[in-house]
Structure 1
Amino acid sequence: MNFKKWGILVSVLLLTFVLAACSNKDGEKEEGSNDKSGGTEQKQYKDTLNIAVTAQPPGLDSSLTVSTVALGISLNIFEQLYTLNASYEPTPMLAESVEQSEDGLTYTFKLREGVKFHNGKEMTAEDVEASMNRWLATSSRAKVLLEGAKFETVDKYNVKLTVAKPTSDVMILISSRAQYASIMPKEIVEAAPADGIKEFVGTGPYEFKEWKQDQYIHLVKNEDYQGVDGEPSGYAGRKEAPTANLYYHFVTDHSTRIAGIQTGKYDIADSIPIENYDQLDADKNIQLSTFPGGALTAFLNTNEGLLANQKYREAILAALNNEEIMLASFAKPELYSLAPSYLNENQVQWSNDAGKDYYNQANPEKAKKLLEEAGYKGEEITLLTTKDYAEMYAATLVIQEQLRQIGMNVKVDSYDFPTFLETKNDSSKWDLFVASTGYQSTPPQILAVTPDWAGLNNDQVKNSLTAIRSAATPEDAKKEWAKLQGFLYEFGSSTVIGHYNEVVATTNKIEDYEQFETSVVWNVKVSE
């Protein structure tokens, strides 16, 4: 098998959801205006970009977190060897190139020379080796999908990756944003505590300045940034950092975030509640951007408590009315859809309807019968949630009511987002939780098959992932994924509730903004 050709083919077949950049309302940029003397007045730009995000991140250690807000902020600070362009193709960033051996077991990366960390130190292979090996040891995805892999220094500007077995997705894993591998100074990597790095020193266009708890994170322009050439595309290409200061404000109250974007206090506001969509869409000073966001997914506890019994999980899946849940969570039917696929419905390589018989059953009578067969005696189950994400909280309350209707004793535990993530890691404290899960490039990267996410540790899942990654053709890989998706529904470890669009609001004063899985702001300018 020629693994180089297979890897290229997989990349080509991946969904190319190119997200259009937002501009001002009329789609044109005003270059200048005439002053009273007949001359041309030069447009002036602010030195600060204010971004309102819906939750405080649990940390900025990219290999440890799946938090979208954390990854969106950290991408300004840290960079990868390779990253994804707007076509989801692995593209050089801190590496100039990569050479793959014929047997598919070795990848040799040639590094860019003269790249400086924010502390002034030049990046070399020793830093890359330390950073990448830490990623292999700490990222839940890397630990499972690249088990036995190792990075080694070849010389000052070359580093080698050796994998235990050839697979088609090595470069996709290295390039993806999900739990991505930040390149940091070796000494920071070696001093990193188990709960995550505390010194945020990277090579990116912005440097970490301050984290004021429960208020904001402040980043400042890296004056010595050494980027790559090429048109900006996704996370790849030119990064210019024309705005000196980035402030990420933690604004958990949705009405405050809406008021802030309307008054100009914030230049960008994420996670716009759907009930405010029409209000903001009518405002001529605001641009709304919608894009495929991901799948709202319910995860069931397969390890502890009542739901460790598969029969109870089957009962819950039988009870769920996904249309009711999605309507409560997103309000406008045109901004969501129903389908059992864990990946984007338009992602031809991977999308399928396996498990449809277990999806959106809305059958309370069947659910009651399954509970009776399981011997249910009114035991309490706990739904874990957070109000920081309105759709997750609303979905949880609807599920609570649907389960009460079939006779289950259900309570809801709600926390701020960082505490939600921390509590989720203790399977004794929850039975079910709902999460907004962003789309991934390949099935092995989705949270539904990641053991560290919701505790699913199943041999059939592991064997299926191996079969997908080692399949001889893309068609064979797709068949293996369909089998695995069907098993996830039959086993009842999780269920997609529906697919949603994200909504981000920007003022018409910002230029060169791009939306690609998150807000890409390193080229943004804000006019006075």
Structure 2
Amino acid sequence: MSVRPLLRRFLPAALPTILLGAVAAAPAPLPPPVPAAQTPAPKTRAPDSTDLPPYVSPDGETKGSPHRGGTLRLTADAGAGTADPQINYISEMIQLTANVYDGLTTFSKHPGDASNVPVADLAEALPPPEDGGLTYTFRLRPGIRFSNGHVLDVNDVVASFQRIFKVNSPTAGGFYGGIVGAAACLKDSAHCTLAGGVVGDEKAGTITFHLTHPDAEFFDKLAFPHAYILPADTPPHDLGNDAPPGTGPYRIASYDPNRQMIVDRNPFFHVWSAEAQPDGYVDRMVYSFGLSDEAETTATINGDFDYMYDNVPLDRYGELGDTVPDQVHINPVYATYYLPLNTHLPPFNNLKARWAINYAVNRRAMQTFMGGPAVADVLCQTVPKGLPGHEPFCPYTKGADFQHPAKQWTAPDLALARKLVEESGTKGMHVTLVVPNRAVEIAMGTDLQNTLRRIGYDADVKPIAFAIQFTYIQNTNNNVQISINDWFADYPEPSDFLTALFGCENFHPGSDSSPNISGFCDPTFQDLIHRAALTSVTDKAAGNKLWAEADRRLAEEAPTVPLIQFRKIELVSKRLGNFYTTNLYHLLFSQAWVK
């Protein structure tokens, strides 16, 4: 989810040419998709601000900037799953909840590269490490209240970290497994106490963390949304559509994932650090769900919405460049598309079959479907460009191999792919590719289906509603062989692509929260990522070399097919001002204003 450099706009004169170049290669449409769930009747436009009761600030006044006030109208094709911030792992919701919740730390909400840096949030300062990096003591800021009026205290912090394990948060083991007592919590989540690991001192207003080993990314992990601090009495189960109180400038007033979310001001919010959590401009946000990406695009161009979360369909790029270039923003991100290959099911439980698909995929076509070189770069490895540990190499391109890798991908090698399929003994097997039911991914799926057929498989494509596709492909009970997935960085480190997606600790059979979709668990790779993490504590450069080595090992075992690293195309209305992006949260909703 991290946006890299400062946002970059296409110049109006250049935009039509750049975007139109991508349209010609779009494939024929797929047959009608397989529905995953009943889709509600779409709304034709966002509700007007007059549909809602008037906002009255606690002192009866409107404060601050003349831009303060009004309703920000947002749209996405579907709700983003649970409103429980310690469980939800979808960027659509995380972008929103950055304005609702806080952790002990957060990423700076300055725009651009400055937002890579973790800063103190609910804590007064980032504490120095003690005991060789095994102990950190944070002091809480006084006087902060949740949106229900409850004063934040150390008991809320201790309970929130216990709750991460009690609700089986997707990152409980991967991010917070190094806290003393976490191992017991992972085995028996219902009785998690983190005894000796998270210690609160009410009198001093401090929380002390004890770790089993030093962690160079500890502040980053505390900044991730699964470590948001909630009231101590928050129930220890998935809250579904009922969002808990938070400490940020806004609160989720209501949420119906089939229709709409309404967000209004937290009446108890005050700014304690503008770098960590600035005040908001708009009085409320209305997030409408149910339109297709085509309909969202039209409605946003027409001014019915101020921002659409979903990708703009490829066939609309030329129109945007011709008609509304000033409403289009192209933001570099640490985000990739890749194909998780199920290493436990045929044909991809066979290494040569996994090599075959890596050689066969036309990554240039994937780049084209996303919008061309201006919008995406081809990617032949898992760690994206710009991250520490990225050392360019590509064994999966024509004329290259593991002994003589290229620096970059140039072309597929279908002849070698067919040979590998023959040698694997998997030729003729049926393969189903599961894709999100959105225009870009369906275009990718069509091309990938043709590629699988050309190298010897009986392939079909199964589109599934975007709202549930990510959880569906994670659950081993659904027997997904291969799927398309995108991944936005949780924080700007290689571990978030290597450990989070392919670490043994992140494979949970039978669970919707199993980000290691491939089910990959390799002792050599596991040792490399463990050593890389430990080495990075004291020697970042040496740690990065180990991360690069782990990236190469992952390519050899091929539980995934890296496709592209992309930039996010964001379409807004004419009335939206102050398009303000951070590397993690994209458009920061609290900082947008409406005219």
- Whole-angstrom distance in 2 between the partners of 1:159 and 1:323: 50
Alpha-carbon distance in structure 2 between the residues aligned to 1:224 and 1:326: 46
Say if 1:213 and 1:63 are closer, same or farther in 2 by CA, change over 3 A. Answer: closer
* Structure 2 Cα separation of the partners of residues 240 and 274 of structure 1: 36
Distance 2:175 2:279 in 1: 34
Matches within 5 A, 1:217-232: 217-230=261-274
Matched letter for residue 75 of structure 2:
A
Instruction: Give the TM-score of the pair, scaled to structure 1.
Output: 0.85
- 2:430 corresponds to: 380
1:116 deviates by 0.8
Q: Alignment partner for residue 449 of structure 1, among 484, 502, 523?
A: 502
2:301 is aligned, of 239, 262, 266, to 262
Worse-matched range after superposition: 442-451 or 473-482: 442-451
CA contact (8 A) 2:8 2:330 kept: no
SS of residue in 1 equivalent to 2:79: coil
| Structure 1 position 396, deviation (Å) | 1.9
Show the counterpart of 2:347.
306
Matched, 1:425 2:469: no
Deviation at 1:262, TM superposition (A): 1.7
The answer as to 2:134 corresponding to 1:96 is no
* Cα displacement string for residues 167-215 of structure 1 (whole angstroms, at most 9, x for unaligned residues): 2111122124xx5312111111xx2325868442111111111112322
CA drift of 1:105 comes to 0.4
Question: How far apart, in 2, do the equivalents of 1:344 and 1:206 lie?
Answer: 33
Q: Whole-Å Cα distance in 2 between the matches of residues 297 and 136 of structure 1?
A: 29
Alpha-carbon RMSD across the aligned residues, in angstroms, is 2.7
Q: Find 1:174's aligned residue among 207, 222, 226.
A: 222
Local SS of the residue matching 2:443: helix
In structure 1, what residue type is equivalent to 2:422? Answer: E
Look up the match of 1:511: 577
The 3 A distance-change label for structure 1 pair 48 and 196 is: closer
Structure 1, unmatched stretches of 5+, are 1-14, 26-41, 231-235
Counterparts of 1:63-462 in structure 2, within 5 Å, are: 63-85=86-108, 86-99=114-127, 100-135=129-164, 138-149=168-179, 150-155=197-202, 157-176=205-224, 180-188=226-234, 191-193=235-237, 198-230=242-274, 236-270=275-309, 271-283=311-323, 286-293=326-333, 294-327=335-368, 329-347=369-387, 349-357=388-396, 362-388=412-438, 390-427=439-476, 428-439=478-489, 440-446=491-497, 447-450=500-503, 451=506, 452-453=514-515, 454=517, 455-462=519-526
Distance in structure 2 (CA, Å) of the matches to 1:217 and 1:360? 45
CA distance in 2, matches of 1:280, 1:267: 15
More strand by share: 1
Task: Answer whether contact 2:89 2:170 (CA < 8 A) is retained.
Answer: no
Counting only pairs closer than 5 Å after superposition, residues 477-516 of structure 1 correspond to structure 2 as: 477-516=543-582
Instruction: Report the alpha carbon displacement of residue 325 of structure 1 after superposing the two structures with TM.
Output: 2.4
Question: Which secondary structure state, in structure 1, belongs to the residue aligned with residue 125 of structure 2?
Answer: strand
AA aligned to 1:396 is: G
Cα deviations across residues 331-387 of structure 1 (Å, max 9, x unaligned)? 33321112334344233x322124534667611111111111111252212211111
State how far apart, in whole Å, the 1-side matches of 2:299 and 2:247 are. Answer: 32
Distance 2:226 2:322 in 1: 38
How far off its partner does 1:45 sit? 6.5
- How far apart are residue 251 of structure 1 and its match? 4.6
Aligned-pair CA distance for 1:123: 0.8
> 1:199/1:43 Cα in 2 relative to 1: closer, same or farther (>3 Å)?
closer
Could you tell me how far apart the structure 1 residues matched to 2:81 and 2:144 are? 29
Q: Is the 8 A contact 2:364 2:378 kept in 1?
A: yes
- Provide the rounded CA distance (Å) in 2 between the counterparts of 1:64 and 1:340: 31
Worse overlay, 135-144 or 499-508: 135-144
In 1, Cα distance between equivalents of 2:532 and 2:485: 25
Give the letter aligned to residue 468 of structure 1. Answer: A
Instruction: State whether residues 52 and 268 of structure 1, in contact with CA within 8 Å, keep that contact through their aligned partners in structure 2.
Output: yes
CA distance, structure 2, for counterparts of residue 58 and residue 82 of structure 1: 25
What CA distance in whole angstroms lies between the structure 2 residues aligned with 1:408 and 1:477? 40
Q: Residue 366 and residue 199 in structure 1: after superposition, are their counterparts in 2 closer, same or farther (change >3 A)?
A: same
Moved more, 392-401 or 446-455: 446-455
Does the aligned pair in 2 maintain the 1:423–1:429 contact within 8 Å? no
In the TM superposition, residue 320 of structure 1 has moved relative to its aligned partner by 1.0
The C-alpha deviation readout for 1:121-174, integer Å capped at 9, x for no partner, is: 111111111112333563433412442403221225211111100121111221
Instruction: Give the count of matched residue pairs.
Output: 485
The residue aligned with 1:12 is none
Give a deviation string over 1:371-425, Cα, whole Å, max 9, x none: 111112522122111114x333322221111011112011222211232123212
Distance 1:284 1:166 in 2: 50
In 2, the alpha carbon distance for the partners of 1:90 and 1:497 equals 29
Give 1:17's aligned amino acid: R
Taking a change above 3 Å as real, the CA distance of residues 337 and 98 of structure 1, as seen in their structure-2 partners, is closer
> Does the 8 Å CA contact 2:257/2:289 hold for their aligned counterparts?
no
Distance 1:169 1:353, change over 3 A: same
Q: Which runs of 5+ in 2 are unaligned?
A: 13-64, 109-113, 180-196, 398-408, 507-513
Tell me whether 103-112 or 432-441 shows the greater mean CA deviation: 432-441
Q: Distance in 1 between matches of 2:8 and 2:545?
A: 35
Identity %: 19
8 Å CA contact 2:214–2:534 kept in 1: the answer is yes
Q: Contact between 2:575 and 2:594, CA under 8 Å: does it hold in 1?
A: yes
Give the C-alpha shift of residue 117 in structure 1.
Answer: 0.9
Residues 146, 163 of structure 1: 8 Å contact kept: no
User: Within the alignment, does 1:52 sit opposite 2:75 as a pair?
Assistant: yes
Deviations 1:416-452 (A, max 9, x none): 1232123212234211111121134111112432532
Separation (CA, whole Å) in 2 of partners of 1:239 and 1:400? 47
Question: Partner residue of 1:9?
Answer: none
Instruction: For residue 374 of structure 2, give the secondary structure of its aligned residue in structure 1.
Output: helix
CA deviations 1:195-237 (Å, max 9, x no partner) are 868442111111111112322211111122122234xxxxx44
Instruction: Decide whether aligned partners of structure 1 residues 401 and 277 sit closer, same or farther in structure 2, where only a CA change above 3 A counts.
Output: same
One-letter identity of the residue aligned with 1:174: L
Q: 2:341 is aligned with what amino acid?
A: L
Determine if contact 1:64/1:196 at 8 Å carries over to the other structure: no
> In 2, distance between residues paired with 1:497 and 1:285?
28
